[in-house]
A and B are shown apart, each in its own frame.
Chain A
């Protein structure tokens, strides 16, 4: 892996954001709206239940922020690729000495920058307006966020491969993938409320273990090493599968002559 190339590709997006502030609005606008919605819902439930029982509801706000880490991570990867499709620059990149791993690494880097901005804003807003301090979760935030990042990357790689294979028609699919996962991964409610068979599917997703783990920590149960181990193992499997799928899609796309088509249509 050549870090000069990864750095240059990441800079490209930073140039883009410094030139076009409207693009940054997207990173701020949606998460803020979501936070406000769930924030008021939390307030309402607290009011109904009485403060003593209501403490646990703050994990909904944790859910909002955690979900956004995963969603932005996924989007960072897919958007980096789409950006090259939209600007008809993809061929310039694919005929340059850029390895797929370098291209993906730069997309991960872009995702990191976007997430940093989003999390900072959500952390500040939820603290100021809903007195939920993300940092109360403590050092377990690091493994939690790390796991979500990795899973987001895996889905992002998968979505990118779909766009490469099926062209811009698959764009909306790329947006849809995270929302296919959202109800299954127990962001705002515990896995235990799901029907038994669905619990199995939920627990097969690495992110579910993060959300369960987060609720555990917030309820004072401490950091669950078993959830962490499951998340790590499942992430390794997902990343491996996504990588293989990307690689396989690249060769299919080369055989069908689709790379040039996606890039110039």
Chain B
């Protein structure tokens, strides 16, 4: 028997007034699985992540995380989760060490000193500990964020474009770090990115969202085969430029 799902989202719908950001999103995420969320700008990825984090409430649909309804059990669920995004930062006026200490306290991390040292070393940034966070380069700041994101050994981790604005070398290091840490701890991860290399290397399974609906789902190879394309990049372009109807047709044949 498979492990109990970490996330079970059924028919999530979100409208902001007249704008429908999510039409119908269902997804299941299991432990030890990295799910990539792909789609053009405005497809609804961030809205989906915000709903999964309890920042936005869906207009319809049900959402269970660790088998519990999210909103009434928010605090208990969030203890077991973490999050990092290219669009969020840690307070720039504190040192890296002070920031990580604060979050270690918030998440109730045991042996936080050793934990922070271990993560900083894995990310190859132990020398940044006493540096002021606001003065770090993008690559350094992202890795500090990832350190925060893994502090509590999360069972569920949501990463919103973690490699945006990173050079290929650091991107590669970040991917390898996420992969190895995830395998060691069986973390379930949802990963959004516009970098197809990221998705191919990191994700076990991917979900293409277009106009608030899932239009394709499967392993990267299966999705490429389904769309008869050589690369995920070509699949992306095909979906982005197709009329919604065509894509939904394709999605049906996938199932």
Rounded to whole angstroms, the CA-CA distance of A217 and B132 in the bound complex is 49
Q: Is the CB of A257 within 8 A of B16?
A: yes
Query: Among the listed B56, B94, B106, which residue makes an inter-chain contact with A19, where contact means beta carbons less than 8 Å apart?
Result: B94
Query: Among the listed A12, A91, A99, which residue makes an inter-chain contact with B102, where contact means beta carbons less than 8 Å apart?
Result: A12
Interface SS, B side? mixed
In the complex, the chain A residue whose C-beta lies closest to that of B82 is A95
Q: How many residues of A contact B (CB 8 A)?
A: 33
Residue of A15, A97, A98, A263 with most chain B CB atoms under a 10 A cut-off: A97
Rounded to whole angstroms, the CA-CA distance of A94 and B74 in the bound complex is 10
In the complex, the chain A residue whose C-beta lies closest to that of B94 is A15
Q: Is the CB of A97 within 8 A of B55?
A: no
Residues of A close to B191: CB separation below 8 A? none
Residues of A close to B76: CB separation below 8 A? 97
**Is B236 close to A, CB under 8 A?**
no
Interface SS, A side? helix
Rounded to whole angstroms, the CA-CA distance of A97 and B81 in the bound complex is 9
Q: Is the CB of B94 within 8 A of A254?
A: no
**Is A251 close to B, CB under 8 A?**
yes
Query: Among the listed B21, B88, B94, which residue makes an inter-chain contact with A263, where contact means beta carbons less than 8 Å apart?
Result: B88
Query: Among the listed B21, B95, B102, B108, which residue makes an inter-chain contact with A11, where contact means beta carbons less than 8 Å apart?
Result: B102
Q: Is the CB of B93 within 8 A of A19?
A: yes
**Is A7 close to B, CB under 8 A?**
yes
Rounded to whole angstroms, the CA-CA distance of A263 and B46 in the bound complex is 13
**Is B211 close to A, CB under 8 A?**
no
Q: Which of A81-138 contact B (CB under 8 A)?
A: 83-84, 87-89, 91-92, 94-99
**Is A16 close to B, CB under 8 A?**
yes
**Is B67 close to A, CB under 8 A?**
no
Q: Is the CB of B75 within 8 A of A19?
A: no
Q: Is the CB of A96 within 8 A of B78?
A: yes
Rounded to whole angstroms, the CA-CA distance of A88 and B89 in the bound complex is 5
**Is B117 close to A, CB under 8 A?**
no
Q: Which of A1-48 contact B (CB under 8 A)?
A: 4-5, 7-9, 11-12, 15-16, 19-20
Rounded to whole angstroms, the CA-CA distance of A97 and B76 in the bound complex is 7
Q: Is the CB of B107 within 8 A of A97?
A: yes
In the complex, the chain B residue whose C-beta lies closest to that of A4 is B105
Query: Among the listed B83, B103, B107, which residue makes an inter-chain contact with A91, where contact means beta carbons less than 8 Å apart?
Result: B83
A87 in contact with B91 given A92-B103, A97-B78 (CB within 8 Å): yes
Residues of B close to A95: CB separation below 8 A? 53-55, 78, 81-83, 158
Residues of B close to A263: CB separation below 8 A? 88
**Is A247 close to B, CB under 8 A?**
no
- 16 of the cross-chain contacts (CB-CB < 8 Å) are A5-B106, A12-B94, A19-B95, A88-B88, A89-B89, A89-B91, A94-B53, A95-B82, A97-B75, A97-B76, A97-B78, A97-B106, A98-B106, A256-B16, A257-B47, A259-B56
User: Which residues of chain A have a CB within 8 Å of any CB of chain B?
Assistant: 4-5, 7-9, 11-12, 15-16, 19-20, 83-84, 87-89, 91-92, 94-99, 251, 254-257, 259-260, 263-264
